[in-house]
Amino acid sequence: MADYLTAPRPTEDMPKGISYIIGNETAERFSFYGMKAILVVFMTTHLMGADGLDPMSESDARIWYHQFNALVYFTPLLGAIIADVFLGKYRTIIYLSLDYCLGHLTLAVDSSRMGLMIGLGLIGIGAGGIKPCVSAHVGDQFGRSNASLLEKVYSWFYFAINLGAFTSMILTPILLDRYGSHVAFAVPGILMLIATIVFWTGRHKFIHVPPGGKAFLQEAFSGEGLRAIGKLSVIYVFVAMFWALFDQTSAAWVLQAKKMDMHWMGRDWLPAQIQAANPLLIMIFIPIFSFVVYPLINKVFELTPLRKISIGFFVAVPSFLIPAWIESQIATGASPSIGWQLLAYVFITVAEIFISITCLEFSYTQAPRKMKSLILGLFLVSVAIGNQFTALVNIFIRNEDGTSKLSEVDYYLFFAACMLVTAIVFIVVAKMYTPMEYLHEEGGEHEAEADAV
């Protein structure tokens, strides 16, 4: 066990540990999104059985994909409780990252359904468990004197996520197409190992907030803690519908792309590569929104976090109307250009910027001081709820032969309608919410915890 560290006092300068967190996040997101980008294609074309190829139907692959995603975003609650009560964020991240690496290794060596189940289970626990800890660990590096840098850092944190995602979404489909699943899953695994090493290297640079122990439980079950959980949970229920739409970009949209004209901008693309449009657009749009769009809107009316989320809900609606139109063209025998789906990506990405980045920062500031990871875990559960909703819809409309009871056009229109209703009702809810900010004080809660790893 290492000696107790003396936590550096926050200043107006950027905290020293941020570069290690950003480096870790870039590599970890490469590993996660690289694996996820090829998952549906792997399940429908490369999955092996005892007697050779044994691929899933498209309907079954959608259900597996969304249930895996639900696991990834439900386990943050487990990780948050471990971090906030027992181990602290740093140790929790290190231990679960090793589990995460083992999951990638399983997918790389075993292409059967059993290997798929075990590998996705391990990744679901590891990737999900560290999510709220990493997001909250970013916020822990700041106090009131440099809190003005928090919004900027969360934007760069999100930029790092999407840099890793974009690179992997371009590369891993090529690896799967040319070299098969063993290589395609091994490369993300190597990046996850690198991510773990980078984070471990920064251990003496971080501000470590100790686990709350009994104090966490007292705060969580206090009137103040329960009120924070209750108020934010209402917001997260609405946010869940956005994720029900968004995460179909890696499932339904990939399957749709297989039926489209994939020649665009002078080259032929693989269906799974089109997902890279989202992280690329995020990296382009983040500075535009930070320095142009948000300031312009603020000149018209105050752009509060809840107003950003509300705008995002409405922007998400056309992102599913466009795929519905695409399916109507495919039904007539046409082969629409993949450029039409890229237009849908523009809308879903703009909605993501308004909703997801805002929710990360808003969740941290609205969480009582010993409950940061738990609240961020609850936010991530909204993704699990959204994915489980999508999985249940696909189960409900599935015929015994694997076909769907709904036409693809009606499928997309159904989700667009759900999003529109959510956006309208949320206006009323947002007006009733009273914000309450919690930030760490310099000195007190920034005192160090023991480094056990």
- pLDDT tens, position by position, 204-223: 888 787 887 777 777 777 88
Confidence of residue 195 (pLDDT cuts 50, 70, 90): very high
Which among 154, 129, 195, 165 has a CA at the least distance from the CA of 32? 165
Tokens read off for 110: 């075993």
Q: Look at residue 3 in the predicted model and tell me its pLDDT.
A: 33
CA angle, 89 then 387 then 358, to 5°:
55
Domain ranges of the chain: 18-432
On the question of pLDDT at 401 being above 90, the answer is no
Q: Where are the alpha helices (DSSP H) in 75-180?
A: 76-81, 88-109, 113-140, 150-179
Q: Look at residue 145 in the predicted model and tell me its pLDDT.
A: 65
Q: Look at residue 447 in the predicted model and tell me its pLDDT.
A: 38
Q: Look at residue 306 in the predicted model and tell me its pLDDT.
A: 94
On the question of pLDDT at 9 being above 70, the answer is no
Q: What percent of the chain has pLDDT over 70?
A: 92
Of 103-112, 249-258, 300-309, 367-376, where does mean pLDDT reach its minimum? Answer: 367-376
CB of 122 within 8 A of CB of 131?
no
Tokens read off for 30: 């490469």
CB of 153 within 8 A of CB of 281?
no
CB of 274 within 8 A of CB of 342?
yes
**Nearest 10 degrees: Cα torsion 343, 345, 346, 349:** 170
Confidence of residue 437 (pLDDT cuts 50, 70, 90): low
Q: Domain 18-432, what architecture?
A: Up-down Bundle (1.20)
**Model pTM?**
0.84
Calculate mean pLDDT across residues 309-315.
97
Q: Look at residue 80 in the predicted model and tell me its pLDDT.
A: 85
CB of 31 within 8 A of CB of 104?
yes
d(CA 348, CA 98): 33
